[in-house]
Chains A and B, each alone.
Chain A
Amino acid sequence: MSALASTALEVLEQQLTQPLVASLEVCARCGICAESCHYFLADPSLENVPAARGEALRRVYRAEKDWLSRILPGWTGAEKLTEEGLARLAEMAFTRCTLCRRCTFNCPMGVDTPLLMRTVRAMATASGAAPEILVMLADAAIEKGKNPEFFRDVFLSQMADLEGVLQEKVGDPGARITVERPGAKVLYVGLSGTHTILPPAILFHRAKEDWTLSIFEAANYGVFLSDTSRAKQIAARIIEEAKRLQVEEVVLAECGHAYAALRWDAPNWFGESFPFRVTSLVEKTDEYLAAGRLQLNPQANPDTVTYHDSCNMARNGGVIEEPRRILRAAAAKFVEMTPNRTEAYCCGGGGGLVAQPDYNELRLQGGKPKADQIRRTRAQVVVAACENCRLQLGDLNDHYGLGVRLSAVADLVVNALEPPLAQPLS
């Protein structure tokens, strides 16, 4: 056995928890999961059946762990892991599964195929078979966390400029964007680019929130690699920052995987419950509306609006009704896609796929069910509370000629603020 395969098997052995073994053992191969996968809907071939993907790892597991399979591998389809086999597994896990969990919700057994694919990703990452671009993006974030002073001055200068823009937009020369201010109640963590900072800054200003801005980005590419060590290092930057500033709440930008990572996974990576709340900007905005801290005029957004449920926000995060309450308050006409909520289709860009240009064609093909859904709504605006989803939806918009406009939840809310801004957002 090659060293790479051996490393991968060591990782598999380490990851054999109760949930993983249950998902490896319980599948009855009934194939009922097939149509729950957006890849299968776009291309109904065997390799796009979730059970077939899971089976690829099960064969390896059986060859190592099942008594009958070790004696008679052909009986159960067991297969020893080879370097070529690992490469095939890795490609499948990184490109043919967006970890959306739609198949899990549709499986009568509850098989967690995304957990199996995460395991394969972890095996591939440890043995050097993960996509280089994802490794590079994760490592770049880790380096940034190690040396924040390198970019602090540039960031502060950018935020000073943005503060001027904020003051013009809200018509208040006293409006502030503070960075890492100790004692603030809320620490907002944006993404790369001011488009994820200005609209929230406007909302925080209007809601009279005591907030400050993180110098880090919420994105966590370690999650896509299923590399807990990298993911922890990336998350640790924000957690340490929040603890140092003694904030009560960390509010994350509209980003599905960042939310899943910091809200749901990080407490388990670090083995602690954090001394602060972790919420999404969507949840926070919903709270502001419920508390009457934001007033909206839905007529300010007269176009028909629909909402795309990010898998990490909805199915994997439970943020399902909040965006709907917001959009009903912020838009004159809100229509649902069918199906929606926990049954929504993945856009096809999840799991880090949107960051892998080599698989653009596959990604666009996998997004066809979502494109069809959008078209059926006849909406003019598609709102998504996830940056990766919006990137993918933008590509689907161009590729399938949907003729829609894409928006974050916050952008639509800012546009509907009552009284209106001194200057429109765009």
Chain B
Amino acid sequence: MLWVFQAVTLLGFAFAAAALIWRWRATAQLPLVRDRATPRGSVARGTLYAFTWGMAPWAKESTRRHALSYVRGIGFHLVIFLDLGLVILSPWWPAWSGPVRDVLALVSGLGALLGIAGILMRRLEPNLRALSTFDDLLAVGLVTLFQAAWALALAWPWVLSAAYLVATVMLVYVPLGKIRHCIYFFFSRRFFGTFIGRRGAMHSTGSAGFASREASQ
């Protein structure tokens, strides 16, 4: 009977992937003005920075100021990708040893806790509450439920059918609501990297440790 749930989840994956690819292509077909201004710096360096060092918690004032919240978000997102991998590999779970599954269950459970923390932050901080739409709450709620369901499924295999269903619902919602920001992240960071690289306006010496430069002479 489990194969039915697996097949449904597979369809969910296919729908999410197809819709995201469609969105990606539709966005990539929109105009992109060729920058003809003579560059001051390196686009490649800026782009690399935007996707690597520039994402570090210490790279930006905002993430230094909200380090806990930022790390929570990073952890939450990393566990989503881990759990998606677990869904794909789930038919082979029986071959995995107990301790491996226990660790994965703990990590998934931690992801769900980070998701709950995110929901609480959205409800408790007044500006964040006002900023949040129903879509925001549903998106983080669905993903949190997904992480919790797969944490439980790793520990108790009889939950697996329900976990497949939760995964399917989440996957179907991915391209429809806010979760689709996952593909726009790559566009947005690329454009940011291109901008700072081309204009030679990298964070470079201007970010971490700025206090030490208050008096230079």
Contact = CB atoms under 8 A, between A and B. Distances in A.
B203 A29 contact: no
A324 B206 CA distance: 13
Interface in B51-68: 55, 60-63, 65-66
B75 interface: no
B69 interface: yes
A19 B203 CA distance: 20
B205 A111 contact: no
B181 A271 contact: no
A131 B125 CA distance: 34
Contacts of A273: 36-38
Contacts of A23: 188
Interface stretch (B6-14, B25-33, B145-153, B157-165): B25-33
A67 B125 CA distance: 30
A336 B131 contact: no
B191 interface: yes
A107 B34 CA distance: 24
B18 interface: no
Contact of A29 (B32, B38, B55, B132): B132
Interface stretch (A33-41, A195-203, A204-212, A232-240): A33-41
A18 B30 contact: yes
A266 B210 CA distance: 33
Contacts of B205: 341
B197 to A, nearest CB: 10
Nearest to B32: A18
B93 interface: no
A318 B126 CA distance: 36
A217 to B, nearest CB: 21
Interface centre among B61, B62, B128, by most A CB within 10 Å?
A: B62
A333 B40 CA distance: 29
A418 to B, nearest CB: 18
B124 to A, nearest CB: 12
A76 B30 contact: no
Interface stretch (B84-92, B100-108, B172-180): B172-180
B134 interface: yes
Interface string B202-216: 111111001101111
Contact of A76 (B36, B177, B185, B203): B177
B33 A17 contact: yes
Nearest to A376: B214
A51 B129 CA distance: 12
Contacts of B207: 342-343
Contacts of B36: 267-268, 271-273
Interface size range of chain B in the complex:
35 or more
Nearest to A104: B192
Given A22-B187, A336-B216, A67 B176 contact: yes
A18 B24 CA distance: 10
A46 interface: yes
B45 interface: no
A139 B158 CA distance: 73
Interface in A271-310: 271-273, 277
Given A33-B62, A107-B62, A339-B61, A68 B177 contact: yes
Interface of A: 16-19, 21-23, 25-36, 44-46, 49, 51-52, 55, 67-68, 74-77, 104-112, 263-268, 271-273, 277, 314-318, 320, 324, 328, 333-343, 377
Given A106-B60, A111-B188, A338-B214, 19 more contacts: A17-B33, A27-B181, A29-B132, A30-B69, A32-B66, A75-B177, A76-B133, A77-B133, A104-B192, A107-B62, A108-B55, A109-B185, A109-B189, A267-B37, A333-B217, A339-B61, A339-B210, A341-B205, A343-B207
22 contacts: A19-B188, A25-B181, A31-B131, A32-B69, A46-B131, A68-B135, A75-B135, A76-B178, A105-B60, A106-B62, A108-B63, A110-B188, A267-B37, A268-B34, A268-B37, A315-B201, A334-B217, A336-B214, A336-B216, A341-B205, A342-B201, A377-B214
